[in-house]
Amino acid sequence: MPEEQVDESSPGIRSLAKADFESALRKGFWRSVVSWLTQNTNELLPFDEVRKNLPFKGQHYIGLRQIPINDVVGSVGRYNDFDRAFLPRYESSSGRWISIDEAHLRDIDLPAIEVYKIGTAYFVKDGNHRVSVARERGQFYIDAEVIEIETPVLIDASLNIDDLIRKKEQAEFFVQTHLNELHPEANLELTVPGGYDKLLEHIHTHQWFEGERLKRPVPWQEAVRSWYDDVYLPLVNVIRQNEILKQFPNRTEADLYLWIIEHLYYLREEVRQEVSLEEAAAHFAKEYSQQPLHRIINIFRRVARGLQETMGDVPDSGAQAVSSGKSDQE
């Protein structure tokens, strides 16, 4: 269904629509400048790229719905013409944009847009200019004919191009482990690329140790269940009980699982004795918390230790902080 052109008549309304477009174009320009300065994403997601990187089980038409405009994050064919807020990026969009805006100014009803729905995110199949004008005019919802695409991976409106890599890795992890089927409540979300390969390594290692302990081969699915129940979940429970996640904004329980497990290994190597999950989690939170006060205190402590070591005043201690190889997590 093509975008409808609205007949030009009243010069006053036409002038208002032109002024609206010029205002939207300026906003789009300044958003792009801010995005470049802050290195934040400002791009609409290309639907084909999303589809290529995520597994799909099928699709079906779910009818005419009112959808939240802020959850429209991508486009099938015009992802270069608009930014993430659906502001126009080029003067060439003016003709159609102004015509749609005139229709709004005249209270003329336009056809519903057409979208694909993946998770809670929407991708425009037809109606990009209608979405752009509606957002600029402050609408919160828009009528849409919706085709829903089924995928085992959770997708929402915060998705960006970088997330696609992690979502693809997550999908492949679920294909190999079926953990999303064995434990639907398991929220194994990672924010660091490459993390799912590490989780698979952990399961393989656990499978080997279980085979040694039980004196028999351990099937893969048994190892996956055992790893989740006996290795992953106990540490996650420690993270929850101690509310460690609050100290690491924008990270997940799975992120902390990976980091604390590695931290546990380094601690045991450093102190040459057994260290519990609780001790490793507490030490990790103390050393690497992203809360400002903790970070400042840790910085001062490191500076003080460096000065003391330079002056030869610090005795050797095998129990001092873990090696600087973990500093990229601060």
In the chain, the amino acid numbered 267 is L
- Look at residue 272 and tell me whether its pLDDT is greater than 60: no
pLDDT of residue 250: 79
Mean pLDDT lowest among 55-59, 185-189, 299-303: 299-303
pLDDT-derived band at 278 (thresholds 50, 70, 90) equals low
> How do residues 97-132 score in pLDDT, each as one tens digit?
999 999 999 999 999 999 999 989 999 999 999 999
Q: How confident is the model at residue 34 (pLDDT cuts 50, 70, 90)?
A: confident
273-287 burial string, b = 16+ CB within 10 Å, else e? eebebeebbebbbeb
Query: The CATH number of 11-150 is which of 1.20.140.10, 3.40.50.970, 3.40.50.800, 3.90.1530.10?
Result: 3.90.1530.10
Angle between helices 233-241 and 277-288 (to 10 degrees): 50
Residues 72-83, mean pLDDT to the nearest whole number: 90
Q: What is the pLDDT of residues 150-185, one digit of tens each?
A: 887 778 888 776 777 788 888 889 889 999 888 888
Domain ranges of the chain: 11-150, 161-329
The chain-wide mean pLDDT, for the chain, equals 78
Q: Does pLDDT of 204 surpass 90?
A: yes
Beta-bridge mates of residue 75: 46, 124
Per-residue model confidence (pLDDT) at position 296 = 38
